[in-house]
Amino acid sequence: MSVPKAFLVLLAERPMNGYQLRSEFEARTGATWPLNIGQAYTTLQRLERDGLVTSRPEEDSEVFELTESGVAAVRSWWASPVERSRPARDELAIKLTLAVTAPHVDVSQVVQSQRTESMRMLHEYTRLKAGGRSSGVGERAWLLLLDSLIFQTEAEIRWLDHVEATVMRDSERVIPPEESTPTASVVRPTGARQ
């Protein structure tokens, strides 16, 4: 998630202080990714250091606004696709790839535990969507975000099913230790002669 880019987009609409930016960001994203105020101001300091925003004192706070470079950065962001060349670290993918390679881990139990949680979240997102109205730009944005979360969670559940099926299929092909040679266990393709 690019909080700096989001702040630039919001500042393209009007100058704001850190508290206003944080509140606007959370309102537009349905508070899906809450920010603490320290993170908001740290982000703004970096944007100012990079020449994308300027600040001026106003009453009890600093108000930030875009520079020309900031305006150009917003235009560039809208015109560019989100790069997926380097996947984000996914804790679930890391957990399961470690589970399938770690001795004495019941991968089926890990998968089932996650599937239960993923199903709970899918029901929650679906419930939230059913209660939503499509009136207003903010509400439409929230419903679209819920759609994204629903689709991602459905894909996660399909992937969990795939992991479980793959692990079960592969475990059926491993020769039990009492039948294997003392130096190595042998994995044979399905249908191979013994």
Strand partners, 65: 54
In a domain, 39, yes or no: yes
pLDDT tens digits for 139-192? 888 899 999 999 999 999 999 999 999 998 887 655 455 544 444 444 444 444
Residue 1's contacts (CB-CB under 8 Å, 6 or more residues apart) are: 33
- Whether residues 110 and 74 fall in one domain: no
Q: Does residue 41 have a pLDDT over 80?
A: yes
Q: How many residues does the chain have?
A: 194
Q: Please give the mean pLDDT across all residues of the chain.
A: 86
Phi, psi of 54, deg, nearest 5: -125, 160
- Go through 89-119 and write b for each residue having 16 or more CB atoms within 10 A of its CB, e for each that does not: eeeeeeebeebeeeeeeebeebbeebbeebe
31 vs 112, more confident:
112
In a domain, 86, yes or no: no
In a domain, 193, yes or no: no
- Whether residues 107 and 149 fall in one domain: yes
Tally of domains in the chain: 2
**CATH number for the domain including 46?**
1.10.10.10
- Look at residue 53 and give its three-state secondary structure: strand
Strand partners, 57: 62
Overall average pLDDT of the 39-59 stretch:
96
Q: Name the band, by pLDDT with cuts 50, 70 and 90, for residue 133.
A: low
Looking at residue 193, what is its pLDDT? Answer: 45
DSSP conformation letters of 74-92: HHHHHHSPPP-SSPPP-HH
Overall average pLDDT of the 17-29 stretch:
91
- Record the pTM: 0.71
Overall average pLDDT of the 96-120 stretch:
94
In a domain, 15, yes or no: yes
Domain end among 79, 112, 135? 79
**Which pairs from 58-66 meet CB under 8 Å and 24+ separation?**
58/17, 61/17, 61/18, 61/19, 62/17, 62/18, 63/15, 63/16, 63/17, 64/11, 64/15, 64/16, 64/17, 64/18, 64/21, 65/11, 65/15, 66/8, 66/11, 66/12
- Nearest Cα neighbor of 22 from 12, 36, 11, 5 is 36
Looking at residue 163, what is its pLDDT? Answer: 95
Strands in the chain per DSSP E: 53-58, 61-66
In a domain, 179, yes or no: no
Domain end among 51, 79, 107? 79
- What gap in Å lies between CA 171 and CA 167, rounded to an integer? 6
Looking at residue 154, what is its pLDDT? Answer: 98
Which residues constitute the domain of residue 7?
A: 3-79
